[in-house]
Structure 1
Amino acid sequence: MTNAVHTNQIQLITYVDRLSGGKISDLHKLLNGQLSGLFDGVHLLPFYPPIDGEDAGFDPSDHTAVDSRLGTWQDIEHLAKDYPIMADMIVNHISAQSPQFLDVLQHGAASKYWPLFLTRDKVFGTKPDATQLSAIYRPRPTPCFTGIRLANGQIVPFWTTFTANQIDIDVDSEPGKAYLQAILQRFTDHGVKYIRLDAAGYAIKKAGTNCFMLPETFDFIAQLSEQARALGMTCLVEIHGYHKTQIEIAKRCDMVYDFALPPLVLHTLFTRNAKALKTWLDIAPRNCITVLDTHDGIGIVDAADHNGEPGLLTDPELDALVEKIHQNSKGSSKLATGNAANNVDLYQVNCSFYDALGQNDGDYLLARAIQLFCPGISQIYYAGLLAAENDVALLQRTGVGRDINRPYFNQDTINQALQKPVVKALLKLIKLRHNMQAFNGSFSHTLSDNTYQLSWQHLGHTASLTLTLDSLTAALAWQNEGEAAELLQLHSLLA
């Protein structure tokens, strides 16, 4: 049983240190100042030490602390009073530099933290079956085990799903359960309203399976969600995978991501055909967070087939989609995707959404309009809000593929971005969407040969987005009860 979630919201997703002056208090000022009236909440990407680790905060050495370079828990509390905060709960792993793992390195199996960490032998025994090992689902091109030398010279194959610096925890162990409970308690003590379960699909490992999204994983997610709810928090589960799996997960938790939306929106605009998008929105979970871009790449697996079952797009359609992204970005996305860069996922294309659309202002605004009219809470990534281009210089400096869409802004570059016509238009669109009261009601959509319409109705309020496919133009129409009907051509916002 899930919580009733108020979905008529627009949230910002951002790193604290990559937007504003680099502190939580600076971000708070920005939200209350230049971004005033835009957002109902904010997803703060990992703010735990170290924010500049191997995976930009997703390898915490202390998950219950705020990196002192950003501020304090008190700053989080102050922000939470104005904007409900979503924080990441990294359930699968912890940094190899954490005090707990350093103690394991020193004392081995005698460490009180030894049960906290997962080794290959804990799951497969001391003589693992090669066939079982080969069946493990891999999100990265790197091995899933890393042999790490303890102080006594013993080399132990620790489970490292993502990188060698991210040591998987045993969530079924008593120390593992206590570790996760401590994070939940710290969040609720300081006003965090939403938690995002990061990498939850990999948390349960079992010999003889692919160790991804097992029945036991669903149980784990349900139990952790229940613990969060008991503390007054709403739980978002972050899973990239087959769209029918996403539907099943949505039945067992408060909220899921609509990761299928980004490739389907791109496919719609590239082919001027909304059939695949319409098919998905017919069945998509309504308790969802919609995104076009995130701190990760543009998901491809979410629209793909799986074990012989058809996906939302065919393999040739996905191949054409990826190639078009590379073409629109003038090849820069290729530098950051697949084995071309470190620390990347095999199932995503690393590219800013603005560059994925060839920096076409009209198409970009149309993509955002579609997102804002889809069911669910709309999350706007900070780089997308500011129509950021691929940061090839940052990628070349770090070698981290996803950094191409994780730019750093200071106040001067924020000011410059806010003057861009496409950014001005997007801010206007968000504010218009805020004033349309129909989004508290029911969603419907219709597709004809050349027109796709997304509509909302609530009591006497109505709102619709009508997309003309061959010209890629759109009109907004809305009427709040007791007020005159209004009509706006979307491209007029760019004037």
Structure 2
Amino acid sequence: MTAATEHLQQRVLHHLNTIYRDIELNQSTVILMQRVLDTMRLARVAQAPEPFYNHWDQSDMVLITYGDSIIGKDEQPLKYLHKFLDEHCKDSINSVHILPFFPYSSDDGFAVIDYSSVNDALGDWQDIEAISSDYRLMTDLVINHCSSRSPWFQNFIKGSGVGSDYFMTAELDDDLSQVVRPRISPLLRETETGDGVKQVWCTFSHDQVDLDFRNPEVLLAFISIIRQYLDSGVKLFRLDAVAFLWKIVGTSSINLPQTHECIRLLRCLIEHAVPDAVVITETNIPNQQNLSYFGNANEAHWIYNFSLPPLLVNTLVTGNCRYLKQWLMSMPPAQNGTAYFNFIASHDGIGLRPAEGLLNEDEINQLVNTMASFGGCVSWRAAEHGQRKPYEINIALYDALQGTINGPDRWGEQRFLCAHTIMFALEGVPGLYIHSLLATGNDYEKLKHTQHNRSINRHRWDEQLLADALADERTQHSKIIKQMRRLIDLRIKQPAFHPNATQFTLQLGGQLFGLWRQSLDRRQSVFSVSNVSDEPQTLNLGDINLIEGTDWFDLIAQKPVLPSRLEMELAPYQTVWITNIF
């Protein structure tokens, strides 16, 4: 036995003993440890992964998309997606997050029927593997729940077979008053089974039935799924809704210690199997809770920066960056081996829980009302004492930034690009939603058809209509993708934009948002300064301490910056990236 193998065994055994310390198992944790390692094909390892190592740099950019965001008549959607990536993203975007591409029953993929299959309406495993051979592939591990139509749950109803003991149940008289949920539907679903009526725990919807990780067979099932995905080329694992994974009656059943320990175990297994694979936690919760999923650089490699979307949108519609600055100044630098995953738009909406404690209730309501005036919808969650609170705003980002709190204006395109220049400059790895790259607006037809608020930002493009729109230089789609690609091409060449490079927030007043980034080798500095208002603003170059005698250059405008001129005027929503190396 190698020293690395022995060390791995001890680590896995420790994780299992911690997870199941209060659970009476029908097998020893030593036997369970061997089953875990056999399932992951880690019975023997040559060496341990290098700790605190960054398997990413400034060239990393993730495109977020559904498998059928582009559809056509002649081929399956995954083939159209691959063609789109090759034609429009090949030299700019090196990673792609394909949202759940498995057979499903609801929630646009997040009620998984079969984790081991590709939805045949999208394509097959060959299509997934073809994409993973050209791009770093992120996939969802929908780990908290599965579909009520899954074979597992059907066996639960029958009372026999694989899955018959996989699901979380409770009693009607259990104290569930503290349970934190993102939905207002009843928590328990009454289900007739071969063993009588059961009350099944459903954090999200009654079609999304929660799994019970107190049963180690559930853990083993997901380790087997992870192994299959690794074999198919998956390099980035998004642990969906993982904060809710472990439940205990009488508690909040969110962010419990066992959940964190499960993540530590999965990271340990994944990085021993494929050292440059990455674990990402999707925890749409208040900011300080979200940060806890880094652990001590031993849980998530990346965490979603969930506070960024509401704070950045709020900045641009109010014309004041006060709260964005305050938040960034409170954020600890990510340790080596970890990074923030930055995004502004996604298949979900603009989450509001991560803004709680950062914006007050009146400011959140102002943001909600402004987005509603731009055609957005609001999704609600259950709060204390039977109250409802806004959980997320559902709107396409292009429409969300069409104006300010005073209404629509002529600066929508500039405001939209400003949002992305800010995100691209931030510490962390950027994630770009396909409908932001394409400047897709609200899809009211899909919203009307599905009656689900999130559908407003989940448009499906016809392949030919998209080709025509991108070929016509007059369309917003053509204009935005060209400018976005130019910004990305600039970003990925700057060592100062490494996800773990130094970052300081500059104090330039309410209308100018500024960052200083410095490369890991300290050779390159980039000052990113954005006018977040609809009025011209003056940047005093002395405020950003440009060193006299050094040549400075604005990467975006492609022209020199002379400190001797003392001031620069920034047009509404203009950003400068001023660097000493170009």
Asked whether the two chains share a fold, i.e. TM above 0.5, the reply is: yes
Change (3 A) 1:438 1:112: closer
If the length of structure 1 is used for normalisation, what is the TM-score?
0.87
Counterparts of 1:383 and 1:75, CA distance in 2: 22
Counterparts of 2:153 and 2:205, CA distance in 1: 15
Counterparts of 1:74 and 1:430, CA distance in 2: 29
Counterparts of 1:320 and 1:18, CA distance in 2: 31
**Match 2:96 to one of 36, 39, 42:** 42
Change (3 A) 1:289 1:460: same
**Match 1:184 to one of 190, 210, 226:** 226
Counterparts of 1:168 and 1:203, CA distance in 2: 8
5+ long unaligned stretches in structure 1: 122-126, 305-310
1:326 and 1:356 in contact (8 A); partners too = no
Q: Name 1:124's counterpart in structure 2.
A: none
Counterparts of 2:214 and 2:156, CA distance in 1: 18
Q: How far apart are residue 321 of structure 1 and its match?
A: 1.3
Q: Name 1:465's counterpart in structure 2.
A: 528
1:192-207 equivalences under 5 Å are 192-207=234-249
Change (3 A) 1:255 1:326: same
Aligned with 1:42: secondary structure?
strand
Question: After the TM superposition, which of the residue ranges 193-202 and 429-438 deviates more from structure 2?
Answer: 429-438
Aligned with 2:116: secondary structure?
coil
Counterparts of 1:207 and 1:289, CA distance in 2: 32
Q: Name 1:212's counterpart in structure 2.
A: 254
Question: After the TM superposition, which of the residue ranges 401-410 and 356-365 deviates more from structure 2?
Answer: 356-365
**Match 2:320 to one of 267, 273, 276:** 273
1:373 and 1:455 in contact (8 A); partners too = no
Kindly indicate whether residue 415 of structure 2 is the aligned counterpart of residue 363 of structure 1.
yes
Deviations, residues 446-493 of structure 1 (Å, cap 9, x unaligned): 022243222322243332321234446699x99xxx998345458789
Q: Name 1:455's counterpart in structure 2.
A: 516
Kindly indicate whether residue 342 of structure 2 is the aligned counterpart of residue 290 of structure 1.
yes
**Match 2:394 to one of 320, 325, 350:** 350
Counterparts of 1:200 and 1:283, CA distance in 2: 24
1:88 and 1:198 in contact (8 A); partners too = yes
Counterparts of 1:484 and 1:393, CA distance in 2: 49
Change (3 A) 1:324 1:143: same
1:64 and 1:182 in contact (8 A); partners too = no
Counterparts of 1:112 and 1:78, CA distance in 2: 32
Counterparts of 1:345 and 1:47, CA distance in 2: 31
Q: How far apart are residue 416 of structure 1 and its match?
A: 4.4
Q: Name 1:409's counterpart in structure 2.
A: 461
1:455 and 1:462 in contact (8 A); partners too = yes
Letter in 2 for 1:40: N
2:151 and 2:163 in contact (8 A); partners too = no
Counterparts of 1:40 and 1:246, CA distance in 2: 26
Q: Name 1:165's counterpart in structure 2.
A: 207
Aligned with 1:33: secondary structure?
helix
Q: Name 2:439's counterpart in structure 1.
A: 387
Letter in 2 for 1:175: E
Counterparts of 2:82 and 2:205, CA distance in 1: 32
1:118 and 1:168 in contact (8 A); partners too = yes
2:157 and 2:164 in contact (8 A); partners too = no
Aligned with 1:445: secondary structure?
strand
Question: After the TM superposition, which of the residue ranges 96-105 and 466-475 deviates more from structure 2?
Answer: 466-475
Q: How far apart are residue 434 of structure 1 and its match?
A: 2.3
Q: How far apart are residue 274 of structure 1 and its match?
A: 1.5
1:41-440 equivalences under 5 Å are 41-50=95-104, 53-106=105-158, 108=159, 110-121=160-171, 128-129=173-174, 132-150=175-193, 154-232=196-274, 233-251=277-295, 252-284=299-331, 286=334, 287-304=339-356, 311-327=357-373, 329=374, 332-334=375-377, 337-338=379-380, 346-358=390-402, 360-418=412-470, 419=473, 420=476, 421-440=479-498
Counterparts of 1:247 and 1:174, CA distance in 2: 27
Counterparts of 2:194 and 2:257, CA distance in 1: 37
Deviations, residues 169-215 of structure 1 (Å, cap 9, x unaligned): 11221220121111111111111000000010111100220111122
5+ long unaligned stretches in structure 2: 1-50, 382-387, 404-411, 558-570, 576-582
If the length of structure 2 is used for normalisation, what is the TM-score?
0.75
Q: Name 2:409's counterpart in structure 1.
A: none
Counterparts of 2:309 and 2:149, CA distance in 1: 35
Counterparts of 2:536 and 2:487, CA distance in 1: 15
Q: Name 1:6's counterpart in structure 2.
A: 56
Counterparts of 1:222 and 1:277, CA distance in 2: 31
Counterparts of 1:416 and 1:313, CA distance in 2: 42
Aligned with 2:252: secondary structure?
coil
Letter in 2 for 1:249: Y
Structure with greater Cα Rg: 2
1:265 and 1:277 in contact (8 A); partners too = yes
The percentage of aligned residue pairs carrying the same residue is 29
Counterparts of 1:159 and 1:492, CA distance in 2: 49
Letter in 1 for 2:317: F
Aligned with 1:367: secondary structure?
helix
Q: Name 1:307's counterpart in structure 2.
A: none
1:269 and 1:472 in contact (8 A); partners too = no
